[in-house]
Amino acid sequence: MATRLIESGKARDLVVVQREELRARQAILQEYLEGLDVRSGATAPHAWLTLPEHWLHADFCKACLENGVALLPGSAFSLDPERAPNAVRINLSAAPTREQLARALEVIARLAHKGPDHPPRIGHDSQT
C-alpha cells in the first residue's frame, strides 16, 4: 500500500495537504497566543509555550485540564524533570477541527495571562 501511494504521487499530495493544514493551525496559534513566549515552526505539529513567572507548568496543566484542555508539562519530555523548562507542549494536531483548536488556544491564552487562582508553591512542582 505504501509503495502504491508513493508511486502514484498520492503520498506527496497527502504531505502537501498536511503541511497546508499545519500552516493554518500555526496561524491560529500565533493569533491566540500573541504576546506570549511561544516557539514552533511553520509546519510543526506542536508548539512550546514558556509560561509566565506566575505559573508552574504542573499547575498550568491542571488548570487547563479543569477547563477542558489537555497539555503536557515540559517535565514529560525531560530526562531530568528537576531541570525541565517551565513550559508546556501544545499539540496542534490533537484538535479534530480548527475551531476546536481555536477554543483550546483561547483557554490557554486566558489562563496564561490571568494567572493561577492560588499562588504557585515556591520550590514545589507536582507532576500531572
pLDDT of 16 higher than 90: no
- For residue 46, the surrounding DSSP H or E stretch is strand 46-50
* CATH architecture observed for domain 2-114: Alpha-Beta Complex (3.90)
What pTM did the predictor assign?
A: 0.82
* Per-residue pLDDT tens digits for 33-58: 999 999 999 999 999 999 999 999 99
Grid cell 493554518 in the structure block, residue: 24
Sheet with 37-39: list strands edge to edge: 37-39, 46-50, 87-91, 72-73
Distance (Å, rounded) from C-alpha 61 to C-alpha 52? 13
pLDDT of 122 higher than 70: no
